[in-house]
Amino acid sequence: MVITTLALGVYVVTLRPGHDWGGDFSVYLGHARNLVEGRPYSETPFRPTAESILDHPPAYPPVFPFLLAPVYATFGLNYTALKLVVAVCFALSLPFYYALARLRGGEMPESAIAALGFGLSALVLTLKESVISEGAYSLFAGAALYVATLAYCRGWHLTRPVSAGLAVAALFLLAYGSRVAGLALTVAFVFQEILNWRRGMLFKIVVAGTFLAGVSLVAVTVYDFRSYGQEFRLDWEGYWTNLVYYVRSPATLWGGAWRWFRYPVTLAALLLAGTELVRRTVFRPTIAEWYSWVTVGTVLLYTSGRSPRYMAGFFPLFLIYAMEGARWWAKKLVPSWERAVRGLVIATLAVGIAFNVGRAPRGPIPEGVAQPTFAALCEFLARHTTAADVLASSNPRVIAFYTERPSVRYPYARDDRRFWQGLRETRATHLVVFRHVEEDREQLLPFIARNRDRLRLLYENPDHLVYALP
């Protein structure tokens, strides 16, 4: 509880008013609003196109919206209250990673600092400012890994196969229902059980049967997860770019530190964690090792976007592996220095935490949906458009959520003829411009300048424009 209380206290103190432009958050909130108002879960004014669906599924998994729904019902669109859901989830996840580290042989100080190293990383201190599902996933994935590892260590998969299997499957479902990336847990379970194929057959059947039944029930009643399959495309250049990008991504854990601290620590952590992950996989793999490989591999193959947050499901284990690697190498090379090496690693992570907390951004988020100009834009669109109109923009999910009008992504084409054709295919009636968005400045505004005689300006403020389409 000390870890949770400390992390949650930092989250609350550093919580910032407002919300960035994002896009994912508006889909989660749209689902939560549907749950509160009794509408179909996936009903949304956002209309995916053949292009946009490759990057933005029309609906998101249901667990996080179910967590948001009571808060939304009580406080409405209060971002401070909604962000607290994310913060509480992150804070509650940390004891599970601490307990997992202890279960794997870590002592109390190093296990605690590994958990806090993730919970008070610059990455998490940034993620808690967005109403997105990473916090919920961190909680349920951490709980699933701990409970599954505990079941194997205590032999419950043999002595209590039904109760242990139901507990593991339920946590797998909650993680998968938070983010589709949670499928990595089930794949890791399959790999682990292949190694133990002749033992614990009932445990295997209970976990697999319960998980498949749960996924099928949700797919029929609430949400179909298969839409994510369209986001994985064959792209060899993209895979290489991902590899380079994600090798560097652990530096975001110490993003608040100076470069002279951040990059040497990242390199050392990569070497320690990498060698330890390989060593454990070769000699004594557990479900955590399989989960790590599947999670990292999936992120490397995902070419529809890149973000350090996609690695958030692995980073707690990354720090645990770094701790374990330091302990193993110290014993192997200079046993008399083991305590000193452990102390050095703990101190290094503590310094990184101090940097992150001390330099965490404060004050209102400078750009985003809380800006008065955006509120004025949405008020205009709500008053001067109808449910028959279709609004085209670079951020259609946010527009759809705030205006409750049909909203589409304008075409990616830079050729005017194809751009017009794309607008006609989506039946767009209005073009909404975000002047601060680089893509709008580079593509949309030049298009408007070239076609000004065919467009009619309806609304303008310092940040936004609205044009009527012919």
- Same-domain status, 84 and 201: yes
Residue 260 lies in a domain: yes
Both 158 and 235 in one domain: the answer is: yes
- Let me know whether 99 and 206 are in one domain: yes
How far is it, in rounded angstroms, from Cα 60 to Cα 421?
29
Alpha-carbon span 239 to 301, nearest angstrom: 6
Does 407 lie in the same domain as 309? no
Tokens of 121: 């990383």
Same domain for 350 and 392?
A: no
- Which pLDDT score, from 0 to 100, does residue 98 have? 97
Q: Is the pLDDT of residue 235 over 80?
A: no
pLDDT score for 231: 62
| The domain boundary residue, chosen from 334, 358, 382 | 358
Measure Cα distances from 281 to 56, 263, 292, 321, 424 in Å. Answer: 35, 26, 10, 12, 54
Type and span of the H or E element at 408: strand 407-409
Show which of 358, 388, 416 is a domain's final residue: 358
Kindly state whether residue 363 falls inside one of the protein's structural domains: no
Residue 466 buriedness (CB in 10 A; 0-12 / 13-18 / 19+)? buried
382/352 same-domain check: no
Least confident of 164-173, 285-294, 328-337, 453-462: 328-337
- Going by C-alpha positions, the residue among 121, 179, 193, 212 that lies closest to residue 313 is 179
pLDDT of residue 22 exceeding 60, the answer is: yes
CA separation, residue 318 to residues 26, 139, 278 (Å): 30, 16, 12
Quote the radius of gyration of the chain (alpha carbons, Å): 24
Residues 120 and 216 reside in one and the same domain: yes
Bridge-based pairing state of the strands 430-434 and 391-393: parallel
Q: At what angle do helices 2-14 and 108-119 cross, to 10 degrees?
A: 20
77-86, 212-221, 391-400, 455-464: range with lowest mean pLDDT: 212-221
Question: Is pLDDT above 80 for 142?
Answer: yes
Distance, CA of 415 to chain centre: 34
Tell me how far apart the alpha carbons of residues 66 and 20 are, in angstroms, rounded to a whole number.
22
Q: Where are the alpha helices (DSSP H) in 39-78?
A: 63-75
User: How many residues are there in the chain?
Assistant: 470
**Taking the alpha carbons of 434, 437, 441, 442 in that order, is the dihedral positive or negative?**
negative
Q: Is the dihedral of CA 278, 283, 288, 289 positive or negative?
A: positive
The answer to whether position 161 is within a domain reads yes
User: Does residue 54 belong to any structural domain of this protein?
Assistant: yes
Between 52-56, 118-122, 174-178, 216-220, the lowest mean confidence (pLDDT) is in 52-56
pLDDT, averaged across the chain: 91
Residue 366 lies inside a defined structural domain of this protein: no
Asked if residue 424 and residue 285 are part of one domain, the reply reads no
User: Where in the sequence is the domain holding 69, given as residue range(s)?
Assistant: 2-358
Residues 115 and 254 in one domain: yes
Q: For residue 364, tell me if it sits in a domain.
A: no
User: Do 418 and 290 belong to one domain?
Assistant: no
Q: Count of domains in the chain? A: 2
> Where is the domain boundary, 323, 358, 393?
358
> Quick one: 178 and 252 in the same domain?
yes
Q: Is 365 contained in some domain?
A: no
90, part of any domain: yes
Tell whether 341 and 460 lie within a shared domain: no
